[in-house]
Amino acid sequence: MLDRITKVLIEDMFQLSVGETVAITVDDGSPMDIAKAIFMKVKNCGGLPMIIHIPIGRGDSEAGMADWPATPLTAALSDVDVWIEMNSVVLLYSNIWETAMRENKKLRYLIIGSSTTKSLDRILCGYNIKNLGKLLRSVMQMATQTKSVRITSKNGTDVRYLTDPAHALDIDDGDYSKPIFGTAPGYVNIVPKVGSMHGRIVFDQLQFSNIFDNNEQLEFIMNAGKIEEVKGAVEAEKFRKFLESFDDPNMYKISHNMIGLNPNVSSLVGEIVEDERIWGGVDFGFGHTSPIDMPPHGQVAKSHFDGIVACTTIYFDEVKIVEDGVVCHPELIPFAEALHTQKA
């Protein structure tokens, strides 16, 4: 399985050239068998790999900066061709990450976190990358013409926001052959207009809580683009304290909304990288937003977290593109069908 994963990742997705440098960052929570397999695949393809093992941060993003060797790590990542982040507590959106992404114009970055082998196999393998790209680009094109987005679910979610043409609108289709801020393939990402999100989000999974695979619901009441209230039982109280611990009002603000369209992800498994891409579901990110996505200054926050609603109905300007987790727009159905019936 690792041979298949690393072949798809390094040969097909990164299309690695001889002599290119590849940094694989890990911590004590990273799956080292996967890191070593990627290292060997890079080496066998003629690349120059290195595994950089750093301490586990006390928190994701900027919250972990005190625990990381920032100066030498930033210098290294600002000069490599490829950076694959496998940290269990992520560098993503930290000052280290922001500097490397800003200064290293050739950088092809991909975050896979501490994903397991089985999860990476589902995320990366067994479908046609070109067919995925056709579907995602079609959804993105529709999004560029959209002024408002509404997302509902039978779990009680009903939330709306406006789009902003100045904000990033992007996809990840598995092509990491050119400079990119890359995450695992299978989504369209929209950065909402600041202050525009209103409504109710009921999560099927939420980072830093235990609501996945149990009977408790946890919901956010959104007003003017920020969390106005966290509702629920025990997990809600824990999550309120989690947010309060940052003493940062920007941790309550929406960062981005991802529409999940990975054809191999059909149910939640409790792994955030995979679950964010669930077919017909959505991810909501909160907290730090890079200037890359929200120019010119971004939304600076001490950390970032995400939550998933698994089976959604999505409206672009009141027109349904997904209904109860199924792609339903006439222009998108042929791409979705091709992706599921013509797997690699």
Q: What is the DSSP track for 272-286?
A: HHHHTTBTT-EEEEE
Q: Which pair of structure tokens corresponds to residue 270?
A: 């409790």
Model-wide pTM > 0.75:
yes
Closest by CA to 15, choosing from 127, 129, 175, is: 175
Q: Look at residue 214 in the predicted model and tell me its pLDDT.
A: 86
Q: Look at residue 343 in the predicted model and tell me its pLDDT.
A: 56
**Local structure of 129: helix, strand or coil:** helix
Closest by CA to 335, choosing from 261, 283, 277, is: 261
Q: Which pair of structure tokens corresponds to residue 341?
A: 């019936």
Cβ-contact 219, 204 below 8 angstroms: no
Q: Look at residue 342 in the predicted model and tell me its pLDDT.
A: 61
- Tell me how far apart the alpha carbons of residues 107 and 276 are, in angstroms, rounded to a whole number: 24
Q: Look at residue 213 in the predicted model and tell me its pLDDT.
A: 85
Exposed / middle / buried, residue 247 (Cβ in 10 Å: 0-12, 13-18, 19+): exposed
Please state the domain extents for the chain.
Answer: 2-123, 126-341
Output phi, psi for 226, to 5 deg.
Answer: -140, 160
For the domain covering 2-123, report its CATH number.
3.40.1830.10
pLDDT tens string, the chain, 344 residues long: the values are: 999 999 999 999 999 999 999 999 999 999 999 999 999 999 999 999 999 999 999 999 999 999 999 999 999 999 999 999 999 999 999 999 999 999 999 999 999 999 999 999 999 999 988 999 999 999 999 999 999 999 999 999 999 999 999 999 999 999 999 999 999 999 999 999 999 999 999 999 999 999 988 889 999 999 999 999 999 999 999 999 999 999 999 999 999 999 999 999 999 999 999 999 999 999 999 999 999 999 999 999 999 999 999 999 999 999 999 999 999 999 999 999 999 886 54
**Local structure of 92: helix, strand or coil:** coil
**Local structure of 108: helix, strand or coil:** strand
Residue with tokens 């529409």: 259
The Cβ-side half-sphere exposure at 202, using a 13 Å CA radius, reads 14
**Local structure of 245: helix, strand or coil:** helix
